Amino acid sequence: MISFEPIGTIHTPYKEAAPYQPIANDKGEFYIELLPHYEAGLKELLRFRYIYVLFYIDRLKEAPKMRFTPPWLTNKELGLFATRTPSRPNPIGLSIVKLINVIDNKIYVSGLDVYEGTPLLDIKPYIKDLDDKPDANYGWLDDVDNKEHFMLHIKGIPHDY
Amino acid sequence: MISFEPIGTIHTPYKEAAPYQPIANDKGEFYIELLPHYEAGLKELLRFRYIYVLFYIDRLKEAPKMRFTPPWLTNKELGLFATRTPSRPNPIGLSIVKLINVIDNKIYVSGLDVYEGTPLLDIKPYIKDLDDKPDANYGWLDDVDNKEHFMLHIKGIPHDY
**Closest Cα in chain A to B46:** A139
| Count of residues in chain A | 161
* pLDDT over 80 at A33, yes or no: yes
Instruction: Decide the pairing of beta strands A106-109 and A92-103.
Output: antiparallel
pLDDT for A51: 98
d(CA B139, CA B147): 12
- A38·B89 Cβ contact <8 A: yes
- The per-residue pLDDT of chain A, averaged, comes to 90
Q: Which fold has domain B8-136?
A: Elongation Factor Tu (Ef-tu); domain 3 (2.40.30)
pLDDT per residue, tens digit, chain B (161 aa), is: 899 999 999 999 988 777 767 777 777 889 999 999 999 999 999 999 999 999 999 988 789 999 998 877 778 899 999 999 999 999 999 999 999 999 999 999 998 889 999 999 999 999 999 999 999 999 998 888 778 777 776 666 666 65
What class does CATH assign to A8-155? mainly beta
- A89·B122 Cβ contact <8 A: yes
Question: If you average pLDDT over residues A17-41, what whole number do you get?
Answer: 86
Question: In chain B, what are the domain boundaries?
Answer: 8-136
Interface test with chain B among A90, A144, A148, by most B beta carbons within 10 Å: A90
* Max CA distance (Å), chain A: 51
Are the C-beta atoms of residues A41 and A92 closer than 8 Å to each other? no
pLDDT for A131: 95
- A5·B43 Cβ contact <8 A: no
Å from A128 to nearest chain B CA?
Answer: 5
d(CA B136, CA B119): 30
**Closest Cα in chain A to B92:** A122
pLDDT for B26: 74
- B81·A119 Cβ contact <8 A: no
* Secondary element (H or E) of residue A10: strand A8-11
- Select from A4, A39, A88 the Cβ nearest to the Cβ of B90: A4
Provide the whole-model pTM: 0.93
Q: What is the pLDDT of residues A43-90, one digit of tens each?
A: 999 999 999 999 999 988 789 999 998 877 778 899 999 999 999 999
Neighbour-count burial for B44-65, b at 16+ CB within 10 Å, e otherwise: bbbbbbbbbbbbbbeeeeeebe
pLDDT for B75: 81
